[in-house]
A and B are shown apart, each in its own frame.
Chain A
Amino acid sequence: MTLSHSPSGSARRRPSGTDRQSRAGIAFVAAYVLLLIAFGVLPTGYAVYFAFTDAGGTFTGFSNFVTTAQDFRFMDAVGHVALYLLFWLVSLVVFVVSLALLLHRLASGALSKSLRFLFYIPGALAGAASVLVWLFMLDPTVSPVSSLLGMLGFDTFGEVIAPGNLPLLFTVIAFWTGAGGWIVVIYGALNNIPTDVMEAARIDGAGAWQTAWHIQIPMLRKWIVYMVILAFAGGAQLFVEPQLLSLASVGVAGRDYSLNQLTYDFAFQMNNVNGAAAVSVELLVVSVSAAAVFVARSGFFDAD
């Protein structure tokens, strides 16, 4: 991956400012660099070291990668995750950006504020806390939306959690918990678009649709790219949602569904930390490659 630094910084160099700025910049990031090394770089480096060694610490090349890829669940998990990623990314980008734009256009500030709060609430329900919720939502016998489930042709919990429905179910669960936070972020970013830009668009006669498409969304570029990078990585590391459904269904659906679940299985069930690290490194490589594409195309790292 090549990140070309734009030369504009040096071209516009202010004679006395740069050295001072540089020193100050380093001072501002110093504490963060310490934490980054201790809790980011070092553990990640250690995990990479695990991926290429065996339990005794001997270098083994790619053998951990080969063994884990040969596990009978591996290819299934790759397929599951790929399909889920598709659903997840599309729904997140489309709905989060649209909802943020709609909320931003609401005339009533109080209404917009309350809606953002209500949309966010599920974000607080992480992990174990929402197992109960989804067990009851998805079970037609006791669900508040049993008539909806019935219309879709589902009469029992077992039918709802049939293997073919899982990517969609996980997307719904992940969207329910994750979307509210991103709506808040994107909404905040919309607010920072200077009013004169919006005013100019209005005077030019741009409608809501044109303003959104030609003004607002381009100005949100960095935020959207950031969301996509993290959502891609988060989706590739799918774990909580299948785990949660697996708990709710006592193992019927969602066990060993995703790659990340397999890493936990390798690490803590089979005592194979090295194999787990190999799968993690694969996920990391995929996420970083995707991120590199987005970063390169969006000028994400440019200071200006």
Chain B
Amino acid sequence: MTVNQSSSSPKRALGRKRAVSLAGCAVTVLLTVTACGGGTAGTTTKDGFAQAPQKDGTLTVWVDATRMDAAKLYQKLHPEVKLDIVSYDGDANGSNYLQTKVQLFNRTGKGWPDVVFSSQNNETSWAVDAGFAAPLNKGLIPESTLGKFAKGANDVCTVDGTVYCLRNDLSQAVLWYNAPLMKKFGYTVPTTWEEYQKLGTKVAKEHPGYLVGDAGDSFTPEIYLWASKCGANHITGPKSVSVNTTSEACTRMAKLLDVLIKNKSMSISGVFSTDFGKNQADKVLLMPGPAWFGGAVFKDTLKVPARQIAVAPIPQWQGDGAPSTGNVGGGTWLLSQHSTHLKAATDFLTWVTTDNAYQGEKAPGFPAYGPAAEAWLKGQDASGYFASDLGALSAASSQVWPEWGSGQFSQEAIWASTVKPGLTQGKSIVSMLPAWQDSIVKHAKSNGYKVEQ
């Protein structure tokens, strides 16, 4: 780019000098800025990581709006702890807020929160590499506590045997159903997928319009295909994944869904869509879905009256000896390696994930910590909303199929953008399984994963 000026005078030289000095000034600031960061002097290695010098001060915790209650309750019960509660979006919808901020803090060398809640299960996929998440099973949290979490609950937090976060709640899939309606129609709750499909076909004929499920949400694969042991998302190492969406386990569930979608006993709207809320809210007979459907979907969104919704175990394939189910979300708590108040941070983390005062009595989701889950179930039974006890949730909490992981790429987003538009156009899920695989593989690779097909 050239700029032609017509005159040349002493003033011009001055102007040039000024321009040079401005540029010089810019470079100086640039270098100063670049030089910042780092600075890990005076650390001691303990509990499996290099710890910053410990001191007193305010404990900073980041929570989403829902977990705000937990932090406030802790402050009330422990008035002596100096707590700075910061509310953020909890990384909802994969906003990557936490990751973004930690990247910036890593560059400036300060600013990290001590304890963070995230509504995502895949934070360890970057937080370990970024040197943010502290190992918890190397001394900070005793094995006796870790052992009481539901089986597999902390799998999403575990990298090469080290636990880097604690699970807040579980979202194991179960079979929700409308008990009075089932009775009225004279149906029994199916225990196998074969029976489930038969019932769906029967409903389509005898009571058209009523639904045995919904396959329109982005988490559809996590309810049905995960439960069917479809190996679409087997995270085999910190940066490796095995993907196979066309195995028998995948195709037979896809076929089942296709049959029920075709005879319209399965909706493809998605339970939170306005379409579902307006036209199908009172047509739910059966609905495979995660633990949080009970409150968030039936009670709050669809406004189903009390004493109607009941829960049963999710169906299994006939002859399958090892019952399995899927999982949709569930939050995690992380502790910062850079914390200068590790003692206080660990106390808070332990309390918030295990104590009955919050997890047992106040938590909206099914607690991942076993003893708290028992108390929570008692509370739910006592509330009198459900038409059955919630024992099926307890049983399912340890049956989540372990070979479906939480990678850095979002399976929900991939399904939503790859399979959902095809469903709307009337394509079958079976026909889209290869395209789905292709999309997963591409996303995984672009996130730096080694992919096995």
Contact = CB atoms under 8 A, between A and B. Distances in A.
User: Do the two chains touch directly in the complex (Cβ atoms below 8 Å apart)?
Assistant: yes
Interface in A16-46: 19, 22, 33, 37, 41-42, 45-46
A297 B126 CA distance: 49
B99 A268 contact: yes
Contact of A3 (B2, B218, B270, B417): B2
Interface in B369-410: 408, 410
Given A7-B6, A72-B446, A270-B448, A251 B218 contact: yes
A274 to B, nearest CB: 12
A5 B4 CA distance: 6
A253 B442 CA distance: 18
B4 A4 contact: yes
Interface residues of B, number: 50
Interface in A125-139: 135-136, 139
Interface in B267-324: 268-270, 272-275, 278-279
A141 B1 contact: no
A158 interface: yes
B102 to A, nearest CB: 9
A1, A42, A49: most-surrounded residue (chain B CB, <10 A): A42
B417 A271 contact: no
Contacts, number: 111
A46 B4 CA distance: 27
B144 interface: no
B1 A3 contact: yes
B421 interface: yes
A293 interface: no
B274 A268 contact: no
A158 B424 contact: yes
Contacts of A255: 413, 416-417
A67 B130 CA distance: 22
A270 B34 contact: no
A253 B420 CA distance: 9
A105 interface: no
Contacts of B447: 269-270
A25 to B, nearest CB: 12
B279 A141 contact: yes
B218 A10 contact: no
A57 interface: yes
Contact of B275 (A4, A10, A19, A157): A157
A46 B26 CA distance: 10
B29 to A, nearest CB: 6
A142 B93 contact: no
Contacts of A19: 11
Contact of B7 (A10, A256, A267): A10
A80 to B, nearest CB: 13
A247 B94 CA distance: 11
B14 to A, nearest CB: 10
A200 interface: no
A141 B274 contact: yes
Contacts of A109: none
B425 interface: yes
Nearest to B410: A251
Contact of B421 (A3, A71, A163): A163
A46 B30 CA distance: 7
Contact of B424 (A10, A73, A162): A162
A267 B22 CA distance: 29
B6 A5 contact: yes
Contact of A268 (B93, B96, B217, B448): B96
Contact of A252 (B94, B278, B416): B416
Nearest to A140: B275
A250 interface: yes
Contact of B11 (A22, A162, A253): A22
A268 B103 contact: yes
A46 B218 CA distance: 38
Contacts of B269: 156
Contacts of A2: 1-2, 4
Contact of B5 (A5, A41, A49, A72): A5
B155 interface: no
Given A250-B217, A268-B99, A139 B274 contact: yes
Contacts of B45: none
Contact of A141 (B218, B278, B446): B278
Contacts of A163: 421
A54 interface: no
B17 to A, nearest CB: 13
Interface string A255-289: 11000000000011111010000000000000000
B412 interface: yes
Contacts of B417: 251-253, 255-256
B2 A162 contact: no
A142 B278 contact: yes
A269 B217 CA distance: 23
Interface in A204-262: 247, 249-253, 255-256
B3 interface: yes
Nearest to B438: A72
A71 B446 CA distance: 7
B100 interface: yes
B23 to A, nearest CB: 9
B421 A253 contact: yes
Contacts of B11: 19, 22
Contact of B416 (A72, A162, A251): A251
A251 to B, nearest CB: 4
Given A73-B446, A159-B424, A251-B412, 14 more contacts: A1-B2, A3-B2, A22-B11, A37-B26, A42-B29, A49-B30, A141-B274, A162-B425, A250-B218, A252-B416, A253-B421, A268-B103, A269-B94, A270-B447
Interface of A: 1-5, 7, 9-10, 19, 22, 33, 37, 41-42, 45-46, 49, 57, 71-73, 135-136, 139, 141-142, 156-159, 162-163, 247, 249-253, 255-256, 267-271, 273
The 4 A-B residue pairs with the shortest CB-CB distance, nearest first, are A158-B424, A251-B416, A268-B100, A72-B442
27 contacts: A1-B1, A2-B2, A2-B4, A3-B1, A4-B4, A5-B6, A37-B22, A42-B26, A42-B30, A72-B446, A139-B274, A141-B275, A142-B274, A156-B275, A156-B424, A157-B274, A158-B420, A158-B424, A162-B421, A162-B425, A163-B421, A250-B272, A250-B416, A251-B416, A268-B103, A271-B126, A271-B130
